[in-house]
Every structure is written in C-alpha cells, then in structure tokens.
C-alpha cells in the first residue's frame, strides 16, 4: 500500500506542476499580446499628436487673409472673377 500511495502523490504533484506550467504559459502569451497592442496604440497616439500639431499650425496660419487666399488658390483652384489660372504640376 505504501508504493501505491507514493505513485498517487507523484501523479498528483505532476498534474499540479503541469497545470501550473500551462497557466503560466497562457498568461505569458497574454502579456506579450497586450504589450504588442500597447506598442501599437502608443504609435497611433504619437501619430495623432503629430497630426494635431500640424492641424493647429494650419489653423493658426489660416487666420491670416494672405495665407487663406494662397491656400484656397493652391488646394481648391479658386480664382477671382476675370482671372485666369494655369495649373502646372510636377
């Protein structure tokens, strides 16, 4: 009966160790996945911060009439009455 008891305890110990290893590996995979997601979100955050800075600069420039007229002519091909504009592209 002593031998059987040893094998049962060894089996139970092996199952517990295996279960712990599986849970640890699962958690490790989850941590790696979350870290990758965080890295992607930080890259997006930086991209949008740069975009906000560019748009803020553009908004500040558009408050001046000279720049607003230049921007409207370049981007929207606007012109004054009786004025001809020739568009030359590179």
Domain boundaries, the chain: 7-76
Residue found under tokens 């930080």:
42
57 near 65, Cβ under 8 Å?
Answer: no
Residue 1 has pLDDT above 70, yes or no: no
User: What is the total residue count of the chain?
Assistant: 90
Residue 6 has pLDDT above 70, yes or no: yes
pLDDT of residue 66: 86
Q: Looking at residues 8-22, what average pLDDT do you find?
A: 93
73 near 85, Cβ under 8 Å?
Answer: yes
- Per-residue pLDDT tens over the stretch 18-67: 999 999 999 999 999 999 999 999 999 999 999 999 999 999 988 988 88
Q: Which alpha helices (DSSP H) does the chain contain, by range?
A: 2-61, 65-76
pLDDT of residue 87: 72
Rounded to two decimals, the pTM is 0.57
35-39 long-range Cβ contacts below 8 angstroms, 24+ apart: none
């Amino acid at each position: 009966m002593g031998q059987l008891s040893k094998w049962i305890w060894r089996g139970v110990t092996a199952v517990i160790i295996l279960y712990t290893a599986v849970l640890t590996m699962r958690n490790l995979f989850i941590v790696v996945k979350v870290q990758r997601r965080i890295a992607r979100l930080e890259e997006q955050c930086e991209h949008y911060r740069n975009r906000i800075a560019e748009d803020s600069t553009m908004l500040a420039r558009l408050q001046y009439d000279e720049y607003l007229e230049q921007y409207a002519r370049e981007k929207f091909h606007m012109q004054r009455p009786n004025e001809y504009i020739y568009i030359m592209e590179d």
